Structure 1
Amino acid sequence: MKLKYLISITLALVLTVVLSACGQNSDDSQHHNAKYAPKNATPLSKIQIFKSDDKGKQLTEKEMDEKLKAYLKANNDIIDNKYVLQHQLDEQYDGNQKVSKKLDSDLRDLANIATKNQMNFESYIKDNKVPANEKEDIKRIEKYFKAVNHKAAQADQQLEELSYSPNNTVNVVDVPTNYAGDVNNKQQKKIKAFLKAHNLETKAIDK
């Protein structure tokens, strides 16, 4: 009788711990979703990628700041969407990565947007003269987002590889190891300090 009582107490304690852990995991999951897969992400069709026809201009700090603001906004929207789409991929994963037609289309749109946004900004700072005192910081920012969105820009290629090898997975979030030096904490601090000094938002760097 005493042994049965001890077993019952033990089982009750184990059950309490398990339920507590489940509740905590649920909270963590909700927190993760709220932070990385925002419900209010700008729709892919409404993202305004960076564009400029300027060439051969000696840019003022004001002009550079205006263009940088547009580039940052586009990257903020791209980052939001890549987390939303990655969450959808993870939700449907069951041992084989299944990608619905809608998700396939969205991922390819994301790749197109991320690629064009990056290429347009790279061309802009190459075809125009960035203020000398900002050149290093602007290049650092360009390299940062190229690294952060590298996987998103390759989403279409990953989908093609998936069709040949179903055991592959699609990942639009992780930063490849060879780009890690461009997104480390040291680089982030330098970028945020520059943006704050120019009264520009830093939320795209915080994601």
Structure 2
Amino acid sequence: MKLKQFISVALVLVLTVVLSACGQNQDEQQSHNGKYAPKNATPLSKIQIFKSDEKNKKLTEKEMDAHLKAYLKANNDIIDNKYVLQHRLDDQYDGNQKVSKKLDSDLRDLANIATKNQMNFDSFIKDNEVPAKEKEDITRISKYFKAVNHKAAQADQQLEALSYSPNNTVNVVDVPTNYAGDVNHKQQKKIKAFLKTHHLDTKPIDK
């Protein structure tokens, strides 16, 4: 075999391997998002975000547990929908990352829900007196879900960036590097231990 022919064959083989790897990585990403996308996610229109008009109140543990339960339920639904919408995004990917009108609307709704849910809870724990021995854990839980849902809360901004540049992508699942310290295994373990002690659902932490 001549040198030129050998080089040509080698380049073809290398290109084939690279394209195959890229395709496999994309398939794995879609499979990952599909794996975590529940079929029975609460519809966005029916998600009950955390709300409370209470202010300047000294909360009992029982009252705090009730508010936490509502906050956890809302986050559980937000996380479910985040995976559902990311799976839909991955399925409709066409190289230009165009987003259908329905998907665009759902992503903006998700951003609105995630933002309001977090803002309401943060205001609640700021405006009221949380039981002293729970304060550290409540703060940890708030930081955890703020980190986990950060991308979802930024979905509308990602869509605006996409309209200016089709080369951008929309991702509502990943946790930004600067928030990694709030969602590591150590933090999850502490949160789950606290929730179990108070007989609260740990499912949102496992997702």
Q: TM-score range by the shorter chain?
A: 0.7 to 0.9
In 2, Cα distance between the equivalents of 1:150 and 1:162?
Answer: 18
Q: Provide the secondary structure at the position in 2 that maps to 1:156.
A: helix
Q: Provide the secondary structure at the position in 2 that maps to 1:51.
A: coil
In structure 1, the residue matched to 2:197 is: 197
Aligned residues: 181
Q: How does 1:1-207 map to 2 (within 5 A)?
A: 29=31, 33=34, 35-207=35-207
What is the Cα deviation at residue 98 of structure 1? 1.1
In 1, Cα distance between the equivalents of 2:67 and 2:36?
Answer: 26
In 1, Cα distance between the equivalents of 2:167 and 2:94?
Answer: 11
What is the Cα deviation at residue 94 of structure 1? 1.9
Unaligned segments of structure 2, at least 5 residues: 1-23
What is the Cα deviation at residue 115 of structure 1? 0.1
What is the Cα deviation at residue 32 of structure 1? 5.9
What is the Cα deviation at residue 54 of structure 1? 0.2
What is the Cα deviation at residue 109 of structure 1? 0.2
Q: Provide the secondary structure at the position in 2 that maps to 1:55.
A: coil
In 2, Cα distance between the equivalents of 1:66 and 1:48?
Answer: 14
TM-score by length of 2: 0.85
Instruction: Flag the 1:52–1:199 CA change in 2: closer, same or farther, 3 A.
Output: same
TM-score by length of 1: 0.85
Tell me how large the CA RMSD over aligned residues is. 1.6
Unaligned segments of structure 1, at least 5 residues: 1-21
Q: Provide the secondary structure at the position in 1 that maps to 2:163.
A: helix
The residue identity in structure 2 corresponding to 1:54 is: E
The residue identity in structure 1 corresponding to 2:180 is: A
Q: Structure 1 residue runs of 4+, over 2 Å off?
A: none
In 1, Cα distance between the equivalents of 2:114 and 2:33?
Answer: 23
Tell me, yes or no, if the aligned pair for 2:82 and 2:172 is still in contact at 8 Å: yes
Tell me, yes or no, if the aligned pair for 2:140 and 2:191 is still in contact at 8 Å: yes
What is the Cα deviation at residue 45 of structure 1? 0.0
How many percent identity over aligned positions?
Answer: 86
